[in-house]
């Protein structure tokens, strides 16, 4: 199988945000969502002193990125793991801290481009949607076993689907006749369940449901809730965490973690900051950065990206151990 050459969203800006943290001997970047290795390749090419630890839960993505990044030899290490396992990965590699952690959240182009993975609604394929297709329940399992209330929660929370109740009721009725196995039947149901006026706005009528199922199957928000504090804790002074998110719930979570890390614990009405009470981090981006109109026209996936970055400016407090800010 040939490796797709998808250019990641906001690639130049992402590398520019990481470069200052990686401009020294033995610098290490954790690419927590390796995918096809586009970000890692750019970092390895432009940051000649850095090495990259690439994490991905998808064995196919790991195989492709290993092949793509083979020319960089020992500067690249691929690890099969979920990105909330950053502490375990670093411990296994004998790393106490790193200089950068990058997250490019959501589904990869490779997963969308392979019909048999079931992520895309444009072709009829098995309803799988697992990023690691060797373990865990599939999208079909969710559709066939969740109660109507659970389906409404998934569709509303993860897909921001206004027709969640209507769709969930239609799914429950349909599965009593025959269990769901392929995406084509689900897409047909969505066309029937969503009224014509609603179908004419907001893109493809299956887009929100497929996104919601994917996020549920892969437990994406709960994984991110564990991964963000771990990433912030993993970087040394001058290190940076850079995150590209594509969903409002993801971005809100990232914003909350970054805000907490950069906020002083001293009461606001105190006239001065006692020594040692300054925040351990600073925001590198002002709010969430977005892609330019030119990039969105070239790469529609960039339309929803929100890019945030944070930098550690003070060392961990020794008395508080590894979990300290």
Segment (H or E) for 13: helix 11-22
123 lies in some domain: no
Contact between 322 and 316 under an 8 Å Cβ cutoff? The reply is yes
More confident call, 234 vs 117: 234
Residues 141 and 273 in one domain: no
What are residue 244's DSSP bridge partners?
Answer: 104, 307
**pLDDT confidence band for 37 (50 / 70 / 90):** very high
For every residue of 283-314, DSSP letters joined together read ESSSS-B---HHHHHH-GGGGG-EEEEEEE-S
Domain boundary among 217, 240, 272: 217
Question: In the chain, pLDDT over 70 holds for what percent of residues?
Answer: 84
- Mention every residue, 6+ apart, whose C-beta is less than 8 A from residue 32: 55, 83, 86, 101, 102, 103, 227, 231
270 lies in some domain: yes
What average pLDDT score do residues 157-169 get? 93
The whole-number pLDDT of residue 40 equals 97
118 lies in some domain: no
Of 31-40, 118-127, 134-143, 253-262, where does mean pLDDT reach its minimum?
118-127
More confident call, 133 vs 92: 92
Q: Which residue range forms the structural domain that includes residue 150?
A: 132-217
Per residue in 195-237, pLDDT (tens digit) is 877 666 666 778 889 889 999 998 989 999 999 999 999 999 9
Of 110-124, 205-219, 271-285, where does mean pLDDT reach its minimum?
110-124
Read off the CATH number of the domain in which 177 is found. 1.10.150.170
Phi then psi for 104, rounded to 5 degrees? -120, 95
Residues 93 and 170 in one domain: no
Residue 39 assigned as binding residue: yes
Mean pLDDT score of the chain: 87
Residues 278 and 307 in one domain: yes
181 lies in some domain: yes
Residue 100 assigned as binding residue: no
Residue 157 assigned as binding residue: no
Read off the CATH number of the domain in which 283 is found. 3.40.50.150
Residues 106 and 19 in one domain: yes
Segment (H or E) for 53: strand 50-56
Residues 166 and 42 in one domain: no
pLDDT of 5 strictly over 70: no
The whole-number pLDDT of residue 38 equals 93
Q: Give start and end residues of each alpha helix (H) in 58-98.
A: 59-69, 86-92
DSSP state of 2: P
Task: Provide the domain count of the chain.
Answer: 2
Domain boundary among 199, 217, 235: 217
Residues 142 and 191 in one domain: yes
Residues 224 and 316 in one domain: yes
Residue 260 assigned as binding residue: no
What average pLDDT score do residues 21-27 get? 95
Residues 168 and 138 in one domain: yes
What average pLDDT score do residues 2-10 get? 65
54 lies in some domain: yes
Contact between 100 and 232 under an 8 Å Cβ cutoff? The reply is no
225 lies in some domain: yes
Residues 181 and 264 in one domain: no
The whole-number pLDDT of residue 3 equals 42
Residues 136 and 75 in one domain: no
Q: How far apart are CA 50 and CA 29, in angstroms?
A: 7
Per residue in 48-81, pLDDT (tens digit) is 999 999 999 888 889 999 999 999 999 999 999 9
Residue 113 assigned as binding residue: no
16 lies in some domain: yes
What average pLDDT score do residues 181-206 get? 82
246 lies in some domain: yes
Residues 53 and 175 in one domain: no
Domain boundary among 217, 244, 279: 217
pLDDT of 117 strictly over 60: no
Per residue in 121-143, pLDDT (tens digit) is 667 788 988 888 778 899 999 99
The whole-number pLDDT of residue 320 equals 39
The whole-number pLDDT of residue 106 equals 75
Residues 232 and 279 in one domain: yes
């Amino acid at each position: 199988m040939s490796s797709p050459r998808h250019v990641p969203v906001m690639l130049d800006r992402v590398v520019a945000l990481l470069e200052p943290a990686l401009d020294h001997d033995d610098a290490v970047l954790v690419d927590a969502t390796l995918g096809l290795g586009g970000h890692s390749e750019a970092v390895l090419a432009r940051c000649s002193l850095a090495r990259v630890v690439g994490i991905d839960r998808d064995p196919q993505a790991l195989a492709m990125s290993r092949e793509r990044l083979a020319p960089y030899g020992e500067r690249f290490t691929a690890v099969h793991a979920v990105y909330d396992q950053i502490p375990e990965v670093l411990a296994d590699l004998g790393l106490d801290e790193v200089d950068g952690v990058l997250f490019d959240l959501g589904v990869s182009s490779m997963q969308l481009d392979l019909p048999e993975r079931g992520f895309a609604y444009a072709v009829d394929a098995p309803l799988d949607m697992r990023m690691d297709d060797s373990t865990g329940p599939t999208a079909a399992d969710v559709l066939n076993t969740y109660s109507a209330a659970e389906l409404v929660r998934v569709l509303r929370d993860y897909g921001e689907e206004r027709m969640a109740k209507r769709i969930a009721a239609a799914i429950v009725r349909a599965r009593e006749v025959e269990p769901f196995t392929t995406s084509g039947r689900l897409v047909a149901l969505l066309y029937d369940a969503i009224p014509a006026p609603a179908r004419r706005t907001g893109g493809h009528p299956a887009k929100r449901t497929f996104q919601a199922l994917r996020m549920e199957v892969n437990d994406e928000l709960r994984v991110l809730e564990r991964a963000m504090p771990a990433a912030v804790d993993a970087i040394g002074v001058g290190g940076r965490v850079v995150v590209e998110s594509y969903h409002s719930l993801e971005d809100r979570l990232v914003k909350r973690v970054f805000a907490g890390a950069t906020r002083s614990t001293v009461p606001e009405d105190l006239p001065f900051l006692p020594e040692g009470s300054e925040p351990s981090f600073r925001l590198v981006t002002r709010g969430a950065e977005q892609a330019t109109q030119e990039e969105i026209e070239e790469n529609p996936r960039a339309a929803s990206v929100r890019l945030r970055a944070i930098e550690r400016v003070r060392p961990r407090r020794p008395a508080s151990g590894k979990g300290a800010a």
